[in-house]
Structure 1
Amino acid sequence: MPLHWIVDSKERLVITTADGHVTRQDVDDYIRAMNGAGTQPYRKLFDGSRGETDMTPEDMLAIGVQLRERHATGTPGPLAIVIPPDKADLVSRVLGILATADRPMRVFSDVEPARRWIDSLPK
């Protein structure tokens, strides 16, 4: 599976890495797993720097809708997203939807500053 994640309940942190070709089903499975794990209020670091996809804009919008519905069930925790500049247009709709949630969120082009930022926030 091209999405790998670690849920650290003690640190209240989820670290997710995309590595390889990510499909809509992969993302749907990931969202379902995060819902089941109760990670909504956790800090999250999503590293998409090594991921690829051929998802359509409609797929991205559908993912954004799922995430927006998830936000309606509680307050989401802080989010750091690592996206290479060449993929920013592809995920812009999802980023826009994620940005509407009432929580700290930042987009980075490199994982190290993203990690420092998410680690600086309260658990």
Structure 2
Amino acid sequence: MPIHFTIDHKARYVEAKFDGHLVLKDIEDFCDAVVGQNGLSYRKLIDGRTAYGTYNDADVMALGARLSAYETYGPRGALALVPAPEFSLELVDRLMNLGKGGRPAKGFLSIDAARKWLAEQPEA
């Protein structure tokens, strides 16, 4: 899986590095792992600066629906996402709008800005 992540239960924090070629299944597997390890309510940083994806509108909608469905599991922690530099934040914003569901979520062009913002967010 081109997604490597750590879940720090003490800090209630998930940090993921998306690297290389990703497909919808990779992201679904990552989401399942976070949920399975009780990390849904934790703050999450997704570093996608070295990743690229093969996806279409149906994939984006499916992922948005999955993220929205997680709202029924209980509170979800804030999400900061940093895409690869060649991608605009438009796709990030679209995905965030589809799956936001009342939690703080934001896309960033800088990993430092993402970390700073995430540290300022309240715990879920």
TM-score tier, shorter chain, comes to 0.7 to 0.9
Q: Which amino acid aligns with 1:56?
A: N
Cα distance between partner residues in 2 of 1:92 and 1:78: 14
Cα distance between partner residues in 2 of 1:104 and 1:61: 20
CA contact (8 A) 1:75 1:102 kept: no
Deviation of residue 85 (structure 1)? 6.2
Distance change (3 Å), C-alpha of 1:114 and 1:91: closer
Task: Indicate the RMSD between aligned Cα atoms, in angstroms.
Answer: 1.7
CA contact (8 A) 1:82 1:107 kept: yes
Cα distance between partner residues in 2 of 1:71 and 1:49: 27
Partner of residue 64, structure 1: 64
Q: TM-score, normalised by structure 2?
A: 0.87
Partner of residue 53, structure 1: 53
- Paired residues in the alignment total 122
Runs of 4+ displaced beyond 6 Å: none
Percent of residue pairs identical = 33
CA contact (8 A) 2:89 2:108 kept: no
Matches within 5 A, 1:10-21: 10-21=10-21
Matches within 5 A, 1:97-112: 97-99=98-100, 101-112=101-112
Q: Which amino acid aligns with 1:69?
A: A
Unaligned runs of 5+ in 1: none
For 1:63-85, what per-residue CA distance to the aligned partner results, in whole angstroms no more than 9, with x for missing partners? Answer: 11111111121111111111246
CA contact (8 A) 2:3 2:19 kept: yes
Matches within 5 A, 1:68-79: 68-79=68-79
Deviation of residue 46 (structure 1)? 1.0
Cα distance between partner residues in 1 of 2:87 and 2:27: 20
Q: TM-score, normalised by structure 1?
A: 0.88
